Structure 1
Amino acid sequence: MVLWRNDIADFSVIESSSQLVVGNLNVVGKGCWKVASVYGSTDVQERKLLWDSLGRFCSYELPFVIGGDFNCVVSQEEKRGGKKFRLSQGSKDFQSFLINNDLHEVKSMGPRRISSFYGCPRCYELVEDNNHIGGQCVKIRKVVALLNEWGLYISVYQCFKDYLEGLQKLIGREDLAANFYCTVVWMVWKSRCKLIHTGKEDSDNSISANVISYAVQSNFLNFQLENWDTNQLRLSSHWHPPPPRWIKINVDGALKKNYRAGVGGVARDDKGRFLIAFGNTLQQWDAAQTELCAVLFLKNVVKDWMFEAQGLIIEGDNRNIIKFLQKSIKNWKVSRAIEDSLAFLLDFKQVIFSYSSRLGNNLADMCANLSLEGSFLWEDLLDKSIPPSFLHCLKEECDALGRS
């Protein structure tokens, strides 16, 4: 039985079974959502039918919300009492379903507490008003100072009025600078929320490096697309470099129907200069695992001289895999333990996993597909085995950065 208030919404059932009800929920003034209510079977084989059914409705056409009792968990945090959690086949199936369909769990924050304290959790003497959030917070100033050390030259604003006027002046002239500052404010605010809810926050270095990675993909300014200048459009659609003295390695995976798979990647410095590219053939049946294998294979291609860099950004276009690796880094810092397959990362001064759009991961995608024909390692652009298409794409991305 499905019930809804017809004065504010309309619901049409698309499919129903003993494990699910799926339909379109059209809320007045809020648009249309695809909604699934689930009661998963306790039998692992029957739950596979549930994942297959839900997978057919996962698309980018409508927002999709899935809720209910899945009768399956993927971590110890999701259960209380009973036997100790172990990653069973059912849990692996559930995990693969979430990753392959780019589905994200909405965390519960628990009961809200009302606080009468309106100060910044970092600088208690200052009220957390628009002026503070827009530039007075000590965390914003530290992050901007670090970015300026890296050669970005971003202004700091004294009050909210100056903040708005300053950004308005940048629009049409220095859109990327405006986007950098908005990304700083956004990421510092996210870190502030993390500090309040967990007692810990991201380091200045981590925020600054992520600002570099995300800024050109973000658009927090409220203006029309035609006002977004040509250079910014090109930057947001292409690869962008890491901070000065850092290395960025883009990775990707490719998977055929016959389970033949390939992983590939390309490393470049802060000036966009080619350092190394690789591809490796393997057998795999899961797309998400293939993307993960691309990261794990890096231990076979990293060179000793890379450890001298100020930091390493590993970038891929599978959002769930990147989030999984980001969470793993946080766990390493707490437990001081790391899996053997990723232990090589400890030799770097700092490692950040970053998500990229597919347009920003073109060369890695090309390497992954080329590896389906055979493994390779390129350490010099004069290598005769490098196809012209790779060199052409590399030049295009360098030109987009204003570097040839």
Structure 2
Amino acid sequence: MVLWRKDLANFSVLEASSQMIVGKLTVAGKGSWVVASVYGSNVAQIRRRLWTDLEKYCSSDLPFIVGGDFNCMISQEEKRGGKKFLVNQGSKDFTNFMISNDLHEVKSMGPKFTWCNNKNGGAHILEKLDRCLINTIAMNHIQITFVKHLSRVASDHCLILLEVFKPLVHSKKMIRHSSNWISHIKSGYGSYLEDESEIQKTITDFFRLKWKFRECNLEGWPNPSSVLNVEDQRLLEVDFCQDELQLVVDSFKRNISPGVDGISFSFIKDFWEIIKEDIWLAVKQFFISGNMDESWKETMIILIPKIKNRQELVHYRPISLCLTVYKLIAKIVLNRMEKVIHKIISND
């Protein structure tokens, strides 16, 4: 399935099969691109047909992007657990396809492996089956090329996100004049640092010390004066339902900053009717098991200036940008707690 916004772009299907959808994407002011979404067979012999079909579009003089689940690995680094990876004809065919057609894999950020067999212990297997390839023409059009591996939600695969038309300043000199970039900082010893690596280390050391684990003495605390009655306890313990998730989605505003996965509440709201069942299955599984996927906990820390003339790290206020699925779960729990918490915590 291929989705696009008609007010921003036009997509015409050139060819479709059980392993791919190829189309011409035309974006106003950005020209035309050939885009292919693939779902490769797990049988190498059948997957050869995919390479043959795609090759017809690789010779075009247009930017070419192909991405999706190729169902194929090319090295041991792309697998963890299970039987040891061995180079086979399938991986050779894939490598030859990329070399022969001037296709380059886009570097990724996020989880290293894009597929999981959802088993525990020694049976746990991780593999990189999903990726994005572009030709040289596309590389010359895109100002920065990297793919985000998003969190697995109600699937054994990670979504992959390629941002094509998001400009980024390359010049280090221009970056230093950006109001969102720390070009210099005063160290704890009073000296000013301008080297990027030294600034990064100083920031890391500062917040690691600030947020380090501290032992707390809980002895001598008074006994609670208020406790929840049986009815309130039952209210907290009742199973979460999909209506509670719907209430959270309806209440959240569109302009909330996304986390490292780039998924905003604008996206959630616009495509809610399509994705709501999958989101609910993922959220429900967390409440049933009590285990949260590690990738859901990934947080981007942003430093917000407190004053104009900031020189030291104490002049910045850190905020955490959590993943949208994490925010959904946290808000569902908070809504449930708000019904009773005023009974055990006073305004004072």
TM-score computed with the length of structure 1 as normaliser: 0.29
**Higher alpha-carbon Rg:** 2
TM-score computed with the length of structure 2 as normaliser: 0.33
